[in-house]
Structure 1
């Protein structure tokens, strides 16, 4: 049944509840035949006519259009706002429950845009909880069911999230295909911020699957497109994606130039909470690209830790800051201080995705090994093995297995180390 039919049915239902005939409802502004055509779905009333009919029937215009009262609409909007706020603040379980509750109710049935918003929010919250298969199912169902009714911007947002989800579960071919379906034609679409974001997701997928030449070529094209779009967000997203690829491929000078430029742009245009997160990411990239700057990064992260504790950033960012601080302390030889940071890092990590938890426990194992607490280090590395046992075979997973193997080798656990080496090689099909 179309939206036009539903509007007509609502007018007919309320008219009968009020005890009006079609002629009584129509007089004197409209003809009874016109009201009949509206009620049968054969005519679409103009906004002015709908407003007139709502006034005559003594109901809200919102109810005639969407099937919900003004009070119900306010409640739905409030529910969506709370769910979105929970997601932005990192309260992912709460956000997921709120979006699911909204979708379980009947209030969104006549509100396709609000329903799409709730379904997309549920997919984001589900992705954040680490349930990538379920998030992918939600997103594909949303694309299929909404079809042409969905705004182009939403199609692009869904493609971005799908690309990240496929990449997260190790399905790099599908991640690339999802983005290339939109960006990979003979003629590129007109670039927008949304398409730039999709481009950065595609760039990460190229790099993850080891297609470094394609990543380099596409990265140059994407940066030129971001310059053309000209918004600070488009430029920062692209510069940051390029910096990560450069750091991971050993081009440390390029990585820092790109990261420095991104941070400079955002420092002038970004809001404080997002800027603090970007500075955290910057310190992480600098630790990778320039290990000799570990002391500088440690001081930067120490200041950031205080800022993050006093702000509303999510738990993931606070954990990543503690983790990066522990790494910086370890790199500068201050192992005891690194041990203090892992004590605050591990409890926060318990609610994270398996890969994030594995990375935290791996770092704890490294620190404990340096402290000479070998039994505790082995225990932490056993937890890493358990968490990674069914993880997707990505470059990140391979790196975690490789690092675990190296630590196990240092603490004289050759059998466990050999197994970790085999798992690392399996992740890259060797």
Structure 2
């Protein structure tokens, strides 16, 4: 902490007040390393004492270094540190709003905290913003911490910040920045020549997910294969589980569903022996989704996984994560032929969403429309589908949007609206960068009469 944060005059004034209160003179504060004139200069605010001098003077006047420096006693500092610790605990328990409040209250008195404690509170605040869906605020805080000269490249803290920043850019829909941050961080690690740690493996795994969301499946597959080799050699169960998890999603995106199932099962086995309830729940939901998309789905197995996932997410998951699992349950009940239950689950997923500008809520609407249509309420289904269509038109165009648009087109086709289906398919192709041929009706061919063209 900067010794001048409270002002040298404040330190000098408190030192003088305590000296007089104890009935001491300046000579009583002097020592072999601290002259009487130096004490006088400190008391008049003309010199800022070093940490060693501050400690020596605090002992002589009978106070803490923190009080001499800031005017606050250790009890105040301890209370603020407990707020940060409470924020950490609340985050682990999924109480993200309470965590954010605790971190913010501690940071309101940041000058009283050590640099390490301030950094810890700011990181917690950023992660709480992320969990609450306030991604812009999270990115701003994470960027400040990541680019701080005090953050040592290659350290566990640095890797954690890089992972969080990649993740937030990805969730905000900025796939370009998510990949750029991840690639830059990986290049930095390579240039440092450091041994890979679990944090570094997690960074690579997050980069795989960013490649996948951007549609760069070849690169995602290459990085995932490299990480699996490294993780098996020296990674913890959590690191290995994370790598297999993302490799499963890449395989799914490439249409290799059976391979994706095997990778997800491997990831689940590794995660099952850890104490991370949230990761276990999310992975169960992913695994169940893969089962539902397989050629011969084991619906009871999928139901068990999704029910277990929901119990875990109710305990420590975010509203968005619970909503995504409810959407998977809705798809399960559609396959079971229980359309009313499917519609109820999809509606609950929409209720849990914090904003309409997310792919998850658009997908939930599509599932709701399908359940309504199969349940015999085609008019309501069409209304729901049009609401999903309007929502999709407001979102960024990428590979993810193409997948959802394709699903929209399939549902319009099933509802008997081929024109709407064709429009959705065309938007899906555009999302992948495949544009339609230019309209040639207004362009006359050489040697033709333009009026007759």
Same fold (TM over 0.5): yes
Match of 1:155 among 142, 153, 158: 158
In structure 1, distance between residues paired with 2:363 and 2:100 = 24
Moved more, 171-180 or 419-428: 419-428
Task: Tell me the CA shift for residue 222 of structure 1.
Answer: 1.0
Q: 1:234 aligns with which of 235, 239, 243?
A: 239
User: C-alpha separation between the residues in 2 aligned to 1:306 and 1:138?
Assistant: 31
- Structure 2 gap segments, 5+ residues each: 435-453
Q: How do residues 132-281 of structure 1 correspond to structure 2 at under 5 angstroms?
A: 132-144=135-147, 146-148=148-150, 152-184=155-187, 187=191, 189-272=194-277, 274-281=279-286
Q: Is the 8 A contact 1:183 1:189 kept in 2?
A: no
Q: Are the structure 2 counterparts of residues 91 and 135 from structure 1 closer, same or farther at C-alpha, using a change threshold of 3 Å?
A: same
Cα distance in 1 between the residues matched to 2:165 and 2:32? 54
Which deviations, in whole Å up to 9, do the C-alpha atoms of 1:344-396 show, x marking residues without a partner?
33322356862222222221112112212122222322332343333222322
Residue 107 (structure 1) aligns with: 110
CA contact (8 A) 2:323 2:352 kept: yes
Q: Is the 8 A contact 1:163 1:178 kept in 2?
A: yes
Q: Relative to structure 1, is the Cα distance of residues 182 and 41 closer, same or farther in structure 2, using a 3 angstrom cutoff? A: farther
Asked if the contact 1:23/1:32 (under 8 Å) is kept, the reply is: yes
Partner Cα distance (2:198, 2:306) in 1: 33
1:370 aligns to what? 374
Quick one: distance in 1 between partners of 2:248 and 2:50?
Answer: 53
Contact 1:169 1:392 in 2 (8 A): no
The match for 1:77 is 81
1:344 aligns with 2:343: no
**TM-score w.r.t. length of structure 2:** 0.81
Superposed displacement of residue 54, structure 1:
2.5
On the 8 A contact 1:14/1:57 being kept in 2, the answer is no
State whether residues 93 and 315 of structure 2, in contact with CA within 8 Å, keep that contact through their aligned partners in structure 1: no
Q: Distance in 2 between the 1:280 and 1:157 partners?
A: 24
CA 1:5–1:231 in structure 2 vs 1: closer, same or farther (change >3 Å)?
A: same
Map Cα deviations across residues 161-212 of structure 1 (whole Å, 9 max, x no partner): 2212222333333222211212126655321111111101111122222322
Q: Deviation of residue 242 (structure 1)?
A: 0.9
| Distance (whole Å) between structure 1 residues aligned to residue 57 and residue 271 of structure 2 | 51
2: distance between equivalents of 1:340 and 1:368? Answer: 10
Tell me which of the two structures has the higher relative contact order, counting C-alpha pairs closer than 8 angstroms and 6 or more residues apart: 1
Q: Does 1:397 align with 2:401?
A: yes
Verify: 1:412 aligned to 2:416, yes or no: yes
Task: Work out the CA distance in 1 between the residues paired with 2:276 and 2:139.
Answer: 31
For 1:6 and 1:344, how far apart are their aligned partners in 2?
51
2:213 and 2:313 map into 1 onto residues whose CA distance is 32
Which structure has the highest helix share of the two? 1
Q: Which structure 2 residues correspond to residues 23-34 of structure 1 after superposition, within 5 A?
A: 23-26=27-30, 31-32=35-36
Larger of the two Rg values belongs to structure: 2
Distance (Å, rounded) in 1 between the aligned partners of 2:278 and 2:146: 32
Q: How many Å apart are 1:297 and its aligned residue?
A: 3.4
Segment drifting more, 31-40 vs 9-18: 31-40
Root-mean-square deviation (CA, aligned residues, Å) is 3.3
Kindly state the Cα deviation for residue 41 of structure 1 after the two structures are TM-superposed.
6.4
Q: Are the structure 2 counterparts of residues 245 and 306 from structure 1 closer, same or farther at C-alpha, using a change threshold of 3 Å? A: closer
Counterpart position of 2:441 = none
8 Å Cα contact 1:88/1:314 also seen in 2 = no
The 3-state SS of whatever aligns with 2:157 is helix
Q: Is residue 349–residue 360 contact of structure 1 (8 Å, CA) maintained in 2?
A: no
How many pairs does the alignment contain? 424
Change (3 A) 1:212 1:65: farther
Q: In structure 1, how many angstroms separate the alpha carbons of the residues matched to 2:61 and 2:417?
A: 80
Q: Is the 8 A contact 2:356 2:362 kept in 1?
A: no
Relative to structure 1, the CA distance from residue 209 to residue 312 in structure 2 (aligned partners, 3 Å threshold; closer, same or farther) is: closer
Equivalent position to 1:323, from 327, 331, 338: 327
Provide the C-alpha distance between the structure 2 equivalents of 1:7 and 1:361, rounded to a whole number of angstroms: 55
Using structure 1 for the length normalisation, give the TM-score. 0.85
Unpaired runs of at least 5, structure 1: none
Cα pair distance change 1:427/1:81, threshold 3 Å: farther
Q: Could you say which residue in structure 2 is the equivalent of 1:292?
A: 296
Distance 1:424 1:380 in 2: 19
